[in-house]
Amino acid sequence: MEPAVSWTTRKVRGVAIIDLDGDLVADRPPLPDLIRELLARGHSRFLVNLRGVTNIDVEVAGDLPGSRWIACLRQGELKLLNARKEHMNLVWLSFTESRERIQRTGVHEALVDQVSGSYYFELENYSDEIEAVVSFECPTWDALRAWAQEGFDAADSARIAGHLPDCPWCRDQLRIMEAAEGSAGRPAEGSREGPTEGPRGRPE
């Protein structure tokens, strides 16, 4: 039987864009598993495109903020693209149902909000892909890139040392810059980057 939802992944300016197509239903391949797999492959910023999603079960709507929680645990971030009002309503409904289940376990109400609430309330949704991708970028990066290219003084080094531990974007961009400088002058290898897709939508 064909899966209810399929996906492709592509990378734009350091952001992994996951294009979903079909229905997000209970017997689907779970989105959190895909996020874990992409995290293991070195991705940290995710944009989940819901343009091709027709229906979402309330039972699995919580996978969207749940996937953001998984990304945030690894100092990453996840945002939505083209989520419709009915999608977000189901996400909210899944939160209220999850909150009630957690409360029945006897966990203090403030802890319930702290653990789960922020991942629902802060789940950003965009209608423009370029705007969404740019939203991941760190405003400090331009200055840091200039410092990296022109050399650091002692004050710059102190500022960078304080900024990098909390900024996956700048760390990734520095690694990309260093890799590009290291490969300069090497003969090009026959390779091509583009959208990837595997069985049941798993990236290869």
- Same domain flag for 77 and 122: yes
- State the Rg of the chain over Cα: 19
Quickly state the pLDDT bin for 164 (edges 50, 70, 90).
confident
- Same domain flag for 54 and 129: yes
Q: What is the CATH number of the domain that holds 121?
A: 3.30.750.24
> Lowest mean pLDDT: which of 66-80, 97-111, 131-145?
97-111
- Same domain flag for 23 and 115: yes
- Same domain flag for 154 and 176: yes
Q: Note whether 20 and 9 are within 8 A (CB).
A: no
- Same domain flag for 90 and 158: no
For residues 160 and 76, what is the distance between their CA atoms, to the nearest angstrom?
19
In a domain, 200, yes or no: no
Overall number of domains in the chain? 2
Count Cβ neighbours within 10 Å for each residue of 62-94 and write b for 16 or more, e otherwise: bbbbbbbbbbeeeebbbbbbbbeeebbebbbeb
- Same domain flag for 80 and 112: yes
| 43-55 confidence digits (pLDDT tens) | 989 999 999 998 8
Domain coverage including residue 84: 5-136
